[in-house]
């Protein structure tokens, strides 16, 4: 399962590199890539949730499945109507980052801090970063709209 999570993270990093490497690319191209990655990430998170439910993992909770469903649905929305996605890619990305960040913060609060301090700090730190970035992107989209 860790391999899938690492692959998902690698795909997300490559998507970020693509966006930075092609600053002149149309939002349509960025929206297409973002939609595909969101669908893949939603599937991987769902697999991780189901794998965690099958074993005796204590850190697994329903928020992982909520994040997976939201990621998958937003990915489909981006791919289904790309003309609208061209305009709303900042809002969709902001919504995605915000919900993923909230999920990570909630997950971090459920991690046993005594036994897994490093996991707690990583989950909380990345969650806070995602919440701030998502709120900024979403509010920027609302203010520019």
**Mean pLDDT over all residues of the chain?**
76
Instruction: Write out the two tokens for 36.
Output: 């595909």
Dihedral, 104, 107, 111, 116 alpha carbons, nearest 10: -20
pLDDT level of residue 90 (50, 70, 90 thresholds): confident
What is the residue whose two structure tokens read 């795909």? 11
pLDDT at 56: 56
- Average pLDDT, stretch 69-88? 75
Which pLDDT value is given to residue 83?
52
pLDDT at 82: 59
Asked whether residue 61 carries a pLDDT value surpassing 70, the answer given is no
Kindly tell me if the per-residue pLDDT of 110 is higher than 80: no
Helix and strand totals (H; E) in the chain = 5, 0
Residue 60's alpha-carbon distances to 9, 15, 30, 33, 116, in angstroms, are 19, 27, 32, 29, 14
User: In the chain, what are the domain boundaries?
Assistant: 2-144
Return the structure tokens found at 42: 């939603």
Q: Kindly report which listed range (12-16, 69-73, 96-100) carries the lowest average pLDDT score.
A: 12-16
| In the predicted structure, residue 2 carries a pLDDT above the cut 70 | no
At 79-89, the pLDDT tens digits run 887 556 556 67
Cβ-Cβ contacts under 8 Å for 97 (sequence gap 6 or more): 130, 131, 133, 134, 137
Closest CA to 136 of 144, 15, 45: 144
Quick check: pTM over 0.75?
no
């Amino acid at each position: 399962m860790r391999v899938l999570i690492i692959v998902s993270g690698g795909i997300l990093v490559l998507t970020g590199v693509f966006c930075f490497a092609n600053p002149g690319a149309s939002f349509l191209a960025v929206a297409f890539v973002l939609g595909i990655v969101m669908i893949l990430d939603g599937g991987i998170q769902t697999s991780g949730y189901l794998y965690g439910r099958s074993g005796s993992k204590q850190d697994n909770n329903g928020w992982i499945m909520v994040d997976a469903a939201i990621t998958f649905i937003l990915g489909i929305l981006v791919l289904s109507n790309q003309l609208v996605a061209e305009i709303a890619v900042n809002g969709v990305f902001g919504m995605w980052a915000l919900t993923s960040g909230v999920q990570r913060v909630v997950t971090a609060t459920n991690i046993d801090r005594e036994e897994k301090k490093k996991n707690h700090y990583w989950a909380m730190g990345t969650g806070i970063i995602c919440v701030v970035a998502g709120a900024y992107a979403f509010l920027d989209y609302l203010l520019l709209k």
